[in-house]
Structure 1
Amino acid sequence: MNPLLKIKGLKTGFRYKKGRSVSLHRDLNFDLFKGQFITVLGPNGAGKSTLLKTLLGYQKALGGEVFYGNTPLESIPVKELAKRTAVVLTDKLDESFLTVYDIVATGRYPYTGITGRLTEQDDEVIREAVAMVEMTDFITRYFHHLSDGEKQKVMIARAVAQKTPLIILDEPVAYVDAPSKIEIMELLLTLSHEHGIGILMATHDLEAAVRFSDRLW
């Protein structure tokens, strides 16, 4: 079975003018398979977000290779990559006047074509994703009226609606209360073990990482 994500000899960091660079990680190697929940654990400032952004092509690697399936990252068009992995980052969303349904619907972008119009099938996928995170009662509510924990569940629903075999998350429980943290982590575990989605999560939360992950890295 081929891994969903494979990295070989990866070196991450920052490249400056005149060829100078600062390395954060060197010679990283791992495979992530279907239904596996892997956590990148480390303190704030350790370069976890930089690693994830490198894996997604948002930031160029200083060395090594990243593969999605058997395809090198640099050979995958942006829209095709969006069919291979969904992303939940810590960046704040400009959610003015958007409902829960609107937010989750953006996960269908890779499939809507030039017009961006949603089909009946897209609508069904969106509603199923919202139901999976138990937010159906909030589907018409404005996103900015939600709690932090509810917002994070909506962002995970958007990733689910994207229908990718892999979801990458950066600090998904960093700004939520304890009950929401458990709820979100149990949701991710369900997506991984019951729905076969590969999960790669970066966090500084030792308790959550040890309790829910298949493997720490």
Structure 2
Amino acid sequence: MANKALNIETLLQLKELETGYSGGKNPVVISRRIETSLALGQFVAILGPNGAGKSTLMKTILGHLAPLSGEVLWKGQPLHQMSVKQVARCMSAVLTDKIDDRYLTAMDVVSTGRYPYGSLTGRLTQEDRQIISSSMKSTGVTHLSERRFFSLSDGEKQKTMIARALAQNTPLICLDEPTAFIDSPGKVAIMQLLKGLVADKTKTVLLTTHDSELALQFADELWLVGKNHTFEAGTPKSLIENGHINQLFDQEGVIFNPTTLRFESKYFKPEL
């Protein structure tokens, strides 16, 4: 369990949270007894193997799934007591859902980030347009403004979606596997971009990933989600030292190297 300094503004609290899917008499429990919090200006990665429940936890935090038990609190207020528009002004989401509309431009996509503040007419104000322009500049996609979104590369799409989250102007940005389907240099570029948003714009970033190397390199704190309903939160350094990182991806013949921050073969070494 992670304890946050009292002088830092706490945005999100998870209290005795149990995540999963309610299926009548037999709910499917994914994670149990999650007790942690998220403060303003943090970069936190939810790390775990495929199928461990990272995305389920993220959907529960966003309010897309109801907790099986326990609570998700936003600045002390239960999330389920907040309206959809209220939640959308607190946290924005970059999910793995695809945008199939072949006519939307990159700027059109970013513009949808302003919907929580929209008028009944749905027209963008001058302030909206300035925020959209600034968001695209911050993520380096201004030159893509008039390009059809479907024609962009995976990396360009992800930066555009991050620009949309920025345009939503929320303290917390949540991302589900933001580096999936992107090449290695692109993965690092996305993580550097997110780290910069935390530093330059005092945003809080919460993302899911199974890429331990990237998470350990960029995150201030890790939330480890294991396949046996386990949850552990702490700094990368503490979780390496106590062996929890190694245990999280426990697999025969594979060991975690704390020097390289990578999982490596126990039996074969690369010839460089």
Under TM normalisation by the shorter chain, which class is it?
over 0.9
Identity across aligned pairs (percent)? 48
SS at match of 2:130: helix
| Residue 195 of structure 1, CA deviation | 1.2
The aligned residue for residue 259 of structure 2 is none
1:38 matches 2:44: yes
- The CA RMSD over aligned residues, in Å, is 0.9
SS at match of 1:157: helix
- Quick one: higher RCO (CA 8 Å, sep 6+), 1 or 2? 1
1:215 to 218, 221, 226: 221
| Residue 155 of structure 1, CA deviation | 0.3
SS at match of 1:167: strand
For the 8 Å contact 2:72–2:78, the answer to whether it is kept is yes
* CA–CA separation in structure 1 for the residues paired with 2:80 and 2:130: 33
* CA–CA separation in structure 2 for the residues paired with 1:155 and 1:32: 22
1:119 matches 2:119: no
| Residue 160 of structure 1, CA deviation | 0.3
For 2:12, give the aligned amino acid. L
Q: Which runs of 4+ in 1 moved over 6 A?
A: none
> 5+ residue gaps in structure 1?
none
Task: Report Cα offsets for 1:94-138 as digits up to 9, x if no partner.
Answer: 232000110000000001122111011100100100000111111
SS at match of 1:160: helix
1:48 matches 2:48: no
The aligned residue for residue 202 of structure 1 is 208
* CA–CA separation in structure 2 for the residues paired with 1:30 and 1:37: 14
For the 8 Å contact 1:36–1:193, the answer to whether it is kept is no
1:6 matches 2:8: no
* CA–CA separation in structure 2 for the residues paired with 1:103 and 1:141: 11
| Residue 52 of structure 1, CA deviation | 0.7
* CA–CA separation in structure 1 for the residues paired with 2:67 and 2:75: 18
* CA–CA separation in structure 2 for the residues paired with 1:163 and 1:37: 17
2:80 to 60, 74, 81: 74
1:166 matches 2:172: yes
For 2:13, give the aligned amino acid. K
The aligned residue for residue 98 of structure 1 is 104
* CA–CA separation in structure 2 for the residues paired with 1:145 and 1:174: 18
* CA–CA separation in structure 1 for the residues paired with 2:102 and 2:195: 31
| Residue 72 of structure 1, CA deviation | 0.7
| Residue 41 of structure 1, CA deviation | 0.1
| Residue 207 of structure 1, CA deviation | 1.0
- Select the structure of larger CA radius of gyration: 2
* CA–CA separation in structure 2 for the residues paired with 1:62 and 1:210: 30
> 5+ residue gaps in structure 2?
1-7, 224-272
Task: Report Cα offsets for 1:56-83 as digits up to 9, x if no partner.
Answer: 1111111001011121101110011000
For the 8 Å contact 2:177–2:207, the answer to whether it is kept is yes
| Residue 2 of structure 1, CA deviation | 3.5
For the 8 Å contact 1:12–1:62, the answer to whether it is kept is yes
The aligned residue for residue 195 of structure 2 is 189
Aligned pair count? 216
| Residue 29 of structure 1, CA deviation | 1.0
